[in-house]
Amino acid sequence: MKMNSSNIMFLTIMTMSVVMSMTSNNFLTTWTSMEINLISFLPLMKKSNKMNEQSMKYLIIQSVASSIMMTSMIMNSIINHPINESIMMMTGVLMKVGMMPFHLWLPMTMQMMSWTVCKMMMTMQKIIPTIMATQMTSLKLMMMPMAVSMMMGPVVGMKQTSMKKMMAYSSITNSPIMIICLKLSKNQFILFFTIYSVINILMINLMKNKNINFMSQLNNQTKMTKMSMLVSAMSMSGMPPTTGFLIKWMVMKSSMELSTIIPMMMIGSSLISTFMYLNMIIPSLTKSQKNKTEMMNQKESTMVLIINLLGIPLVTLTNLN
């Protein structure tokens, strides 16, 4: 995606809408910022993949979800029922976030996007729906969809051969953890989201620069690229001693006071996700090397390894404190 004046303008509007939603104190302002964010994201999406069909699908799904949320707000104000106990509001939020059972649009849409738009979809576009989920729905009501998303996301992702679809199911798996983290502490959410975004952006940049769109294309990559992909995947799944383990361990430690079910779900989800990523990368590591330029252009792969292995000193410093 070229950074011309129009793209810079839309990115600026997106950023401002996210800041507006984070600083708002009522539903109408948050809902308005969410719609501004949608309108500014659609031109970037259309310019990137040049496909009107996917842009229209995304617009229709997001518009339906927004309509459900607004209808729920009006109905609950009329009947004087608590909004955080509304199933209709929860349905709209789940559609916005892309969590199960309203998740099918996310892998199909990301499959047709460019890697640049996928980065925005997995990072910036998740902030406002996560805020809406924590403000407008109760944790007790969201427990079942969150459990299904954390457990079934990696299970369904095992069957995929497209890297973009696997990243989409990884996003579905991590969305409930973001909601739990924001429910517990805003500072923890900022730290979790920052590290999560860095890991995702590094992994997506690696796949974009190496032109990796399907699992079979990993066979022709260098050993350094394969190891970088493996460590990044382990970090995303939350296995020690990676950086991703540090943030998930932080959320599990805080959620122990809230419920014992949440840490158990997170541990089970991490184990299944690890199996999914190992199933993706290990076969390519055992195959013969076809790429002869092993020592060329390894700077990016080295940076990915260093950042994802920062969990070792960070965990040590945390224990010392």
130 Cα distance to chain centroid: 11
Burial class (CB in 10 A: 0-12, 13-18, 19+), 1: middle
Q: For residue range 90-134, list pLDDT tens digits in order.
A: 888 888 888 888 888 888 888 888 888 888 888 888 888 888 888
Does the predicted TM-score (pTM) go above 0.75? Answer: yes
- Rounded to 5 degrees, φ, ψ at 211 are 60, 50
Six-digit token string for 265? 């779900």
Q: Is the pLDDT of residue 3 over 80?
A: no
Q: What is the 3-state secondary structure (H, E, C) of 26-41?
A: CHHHHHHHHHHHHHHH
pLDDT of residue 293: 47
Give the three-state DSSP class for 295: coil
String of DSSP letters for 161-177: -BHHHHHHHHHHHHHHH
- Rounded to 5 degrees, φ, ψ at 214 are -135, 160
pLDDT of residue 301: 61
For residues 101 and 210, what is the distance between their CA atoms, to the nearest angstrom? 33
Opening angle at CA 102, ends 253 and 161, nearest 5: 85
pLDDT of residue 289: 53
pLDDT of residue 240: 76
Q: For residue range 8-47, list pLDDT tens digits in order.
A: 888 888 888 888 888 888 778 888 888 888 888 888 877 6
pLDDT of residue 108: 84
Query: Hey, CA dihedral for 247, 251, 254, 256, is it positive or negative?
Result: negative
Q: Is the pLDDT of residue 63 over 80?
A: yes
For residues 101 and 119, what is the distance between their CA atoms, to the nearest angstrom? 23
For residues 285 and 87, what is the distance between their CA atoms, to the nearest angstrom? 46
Ordered by start, the domain boundaries in the chain are: 5-320
